[in-house]
Homo-oligomer: A and B are copies of this chain.
Amino acid sequence: MGLIPREVKFFDLLEQQSNTVVRGAKLLQECLESKGSIDDMYLASKRIHDVEHEGDELVHRLMDRLNKSFITPLDREDIHELTSRLDDVLDYVDAVAKRLVTFKISTPTHHAVELGRIIVRGAEETAVGIALLRDLSKSDAIIRQCAKINQLENDADQVMRDALNDLFNGGAKDPLEVIKWKDIYEHLELATDKCEDVANIIESVLVKYS
């Protein structure tokens, strides 16, 4: 009933939420790697949507708890910002899956597969970053973790450029196909950008309390 268990609870909820992001990213990765039918893609997108919904529930529980707790382990607005930005990552993962269905894409390019893998790693490293917030005295480890997430975003930029290179310089292409793929790549890249946003807040929290 004391203060400590209540504080721990916030970190538990943030970790559960970052876990939904990892699960969503892995489902998207399966989607991208499977060479299934459009129907399989549709079913997979439904499963991602369910995980996204689970993530939303955790955001609401966190918000509710924030409004009812006197003591929080970090400033309330920082916890709110972390949960909002984690939610953004999962929203983009969900958006990519839905676009794959809308664009009737059954066999993603190897660039899309590579971006999907980077998103999974981004989600995993972000989850580690969130877990590190429990002990802000480990500032070196936190900074290194955020640098890792930023590096993944750079990796995604590089893959994005390779993908655009293939798309525009790989011989005659149907313009509508180019539009679709550019859109898919941009949404995949945005998911890694959003991981970087979370890393940015983790850093901001670190400097604020250091």
Contacts and interface: CB of A to CB of B under 8 A. Distances in A.
Q: How many copies altogether?
A: 3
A84 B63 CA distance: 24
A107 interface: no
Range, interface on chain A = 35 or more
Contacts of A143: 63-64, 67
A63 B142 CA distance: 12
Contacts of A157: 95
A179 B180 contact: no
| Chain A interface, >50% SS class | helix
A143 B64 CA distance: 9
Interface in A166-210: 168-169, 173, 175-176, 178-180, 182-183, 200, 203-204, 206-208, 210
B63 A203 contact: yes
Contact of A76 (B102, B176, B210): B210
Given A98-B161, A161-B98, A180 B168 contact: yes
